[in-house]
Structure 1
Amino acid sequence: MRRWLHALALAGAAAVLLTGCVQVHRDEGDLVDDWAALPAPRLFVPAADACLPRLTGVVPAATYETVDCAGSHLAETVHVGTFTGPVALGARPEPGSPALRDARVECDKRTREMIGGDWHAARLTLTIALPPATAWAAGARWFRCDLAETDSIDNTRPVNRVGSLRGALVGDSTLLHRCFDPKLIGKNLNYMAPVLCTEPHRAEFVGVYTERDMSWVEFTEGASGTHRRCMTLIAAFADVPDNAELPYRAGSIFYPPSRREWEEGDRGVRCFLWSDDRKLTRSVRGAGPEGLPVI
């Protein structure tokens, strides 16, 4: 603007001096457009395929940081998606809210593709991070899918690791759940101690089923139905009949998502075979009726 005003002043001076022996001021063209247009402001969007030194549910641009996946890190960003539809038109979804269901479905799909399997079947946890409310008000509509290794089936707090999780469940991964020796307090499960399947144990991971859509309260009040679904997985895993004799072969232990995960839309329930009457010293995968007899 200052240059434009200066040019007009020069043009006025030239008009006054036309009667003298001076050169007429030459037109510089469209003076208003001499300045390049300023670029539109760009909203911060976190990077995908990046490793993180810390995990937060809300990611301010000012404190955002990534690290080399070859070094120690706490989590890995699998995917960065975009909210669309009605969710994008309203206030920012609260962390853990039902409004995040479509985002979690997308995160789950991208995670399975990246690691080569179902993350529920391993010592892994999947979380969703959001922009701050101020960034949302300014137009940010991204969500970030973060995957982290955990210490155990009982302790889902992320732990530091070295190396990317890409392809982590391809082959014989040490992250996969296998055999456990459950520790009880009375008749209540205290924690699951992981052991080699060749060591004495009473539990073995058999798979994950996807629960139907229901409220958290409905799910927690329907433990018998969850047990029944897990028993069906046990029968298929051990290659034994899923009939009235099955409860005399084995019982079940199951780990559902946390309430927060459930509210976001995670319906993956982890199922374990439970041998109350005898210690096992091998995997019961495909063992058949002789390997898992009626007792």
Structure 2
Amino acid sequence: MSRSGRFTLAASAVAAALVLAACAETTTGLAEPDRMRSAETPTAAPGDVPSSDSDAGGRTGNDKAQRTIVADVGECLDGDNPGPVECSDEHTVEVTKKGTFGGDLGTTLEGTPPNAATVFRTVFPQCRDAAADYLGSASYDASTLGAWLVWADAEDWKAGHRWYRCGVAQLDGEGAPVERTGSIRHALADDFDHYRVCSATRPSTELPETVPCSEPHLAEAVGVVNAGKADEAIPSEREFNDKAGARCGTKVHRFVGADRRDVAPSWRWPDRTNWRIGFTNITCYAELNQATTGSVRGLGSSPMPN
């Protein structure tokens, strides 16, 4: 029993691009409304047994509330069921941090859990930090791996449970977790290219459309630039551009190995809603003049791959 989700950054961002040609042409991208994924699952199966997890329990009236099995750090989840599954089996989320809601969020033993937006503002920045440590890179916004959050649903909440779990997942192009096997702990430190985002669209003009880098694509994510903290005021469009301009250009130059007229830096940044829940990175892209099925990483001055 849980609620889970992730605010989809790509569905609520604006963008700008700067071309590395002598004319330094600038293009403004799109602004999109915010979307957030959240779902509830049925109650736990009759075969579930009480958990010894100290942060998953509570009392209702004079009776001790039944405890819910909740996965621990390093364990895996399948869908929105909080019970652990073997990471070697098919699963969607790998747990990176556990906790309980306290203060105003955790005081009421009856009623329903806080709305999703409140939960995300309270907890998700911590999930973002935990994901960076677990995956081995603070630049994971440039990959197909992302932070996830699961928390007690209405029935569990009414029983007194206040647990939440941060996790990491491999995401599809819509920001939903995909089934996978095996752990992704330190995956980006070991092989970032395997999870690198490639886009079938130009980030300078529309939302990135994630595709495998072996398929035709017009952009490759090359890294991120941190623009501040979630509890700070969101930068203005000019400030985002100032932060991104030189640094994304440098990242693209290092990624490609040369300045080329057919490869240009572009970048996307979060809107106000995503900023408040911890998406404070600008994602930098190497944007291509023509689609290619090969990476431009280390291309230098060689011909563009087909």
* TM-score, with length taken from structure 2: 0.58
The structure showing larger relative contact order (alpha-carbon pairs under 8 Å, at least 6 residues apart) is 2
Which residue does 1:105 correspond to in 2? 125
The letter for the 2-side match of 1:79 is K
The letter for the 2-side match of 1:147 is V
1:108-127 superposed matches below 5 A: 108-118=128-138, 119-127=140-148
Q: Which has the larger helix fraction?
A: 1
Please point out which of 54, 58, 65 is paired with 2:79: 54
Max radius of gyration: which structure? Answer: 1
- Going from structure 1 to structure 2, the CA distance change for 1:40 and 1:139 (only over 3 Å counts) comes to closer
Matched, 1:167 2:186: yes
Which residue does 2:90 correspond to in 1? 72
Which residue does 1:229 correspond to in 2? 243
1:1-295 superposed matches below 5 A: 41=65, 43-44=67-68, 46-48=70-72, 49-55=74-80, 64-89=82-107, 92-97=113-118, 99-118=119-138, 119-151=140-172, 154-177=173-196, 180=198, 182-183=200-201, 188=206, 191-195=209-213, 202-212=218-228, 222-238=236-252, 250-254=264-268, 256=270, 259=273, 261-276=274-289, 282-283=296-297
Kept after mapping to 2: 8 A contact 1:182/1:189: no
Kept after mapping to 2: 8 A contact 1:253/1:274: no
Stretch deviating more after TM superposition (135-144 or 158-167): 135-144
1:55-90 per-residue CA deviation (whole Å, 9 max, x = no partner) reads 3xxxxxxx6543211111122222211223343336
Root-mean-square deviation (CA), in Å? Answer: 4.3
Distance 2:135 2:230 in 1: 28
SS where residue 172 of structure 1 aligns? helix
SS where residue 117 of structure 2 aligns? coil
SS where residue 189 of structure 2 aligns? coil
SS where residue 188 of structure 2 aligns? coil
Distance 1:51 1:170 in 2: 20
Q: Which has the larger strand fraction?
A: 2
How big is the shift at 1:225?
Answer: 4.1
Structure 2 residues not aligned, in runs of 5+? 1-61
How big is the shift at 1:145?
Answer: 1.1
* TM-score, with length taken from structure 1: 0.59
Distance 1:276 1:224 in 2: 25
- Going from structure 1 to structure 2, the CA distance change for 1:181 and 1:164 (only over 3 Å counts) comes to closer
Distance 2:277 2:105 in 1: 13
Kept after mapping to 1: 8 A contact 2:125/2:277: no
Structure 1 residues not aligned, in runs of 5+? 1-37, 56-62
SS where residue 201 of structure 2 aligns? strand
Number of aligned residues: 230
How big is the shift at 1:272?
Answer: 1.0
- Going from structure 1 to structure 2, the CA distance change for 1:234 and 1:93 (only over 3 Å counts) comes to same
Distance 1:64 1:248 in 2: 47
SS where residue 73 of structure 1 aligns? coil
Kept after mapping to 1: 8 A contact 2:120/2:277: yes
Distance 2:252 2:193 in 1: 21
How big is the shift at 1:252?
Answer: 0.9
SS where residue 283 of structure 1 aligns? coil
- Going from structure 1 to structure 2, the CA distance change for 1:66 and 1:127 (only over 3 Å counts) comes to same
Kept after mapping to 2: 8 A contact 1:81/1:103: no
Distance 2:295 2:67 in 1: 57
The letter for the 1-side match of 2:240 is T
How big is the shift at 1:136?
Answer: 3.1
Kept after mapping to 1: 8 A contact 2:93/2:167: yes
How big is the shift at 1:123?
Answer: 0.7
1:222-278 per-residue CA deviation (whole Å, 9 max, x = no partner) reads 5554344332322332458xxxx999983414264795x545333233221324489
How big is the shift at 1:148?
Answer: 1.2
Distance 2:134 2:63 in 1: 35
- Going from structure 1 to structure 2, the CA distance change for 1:256 and 1:108 (only over 3 Å counts) comes to same
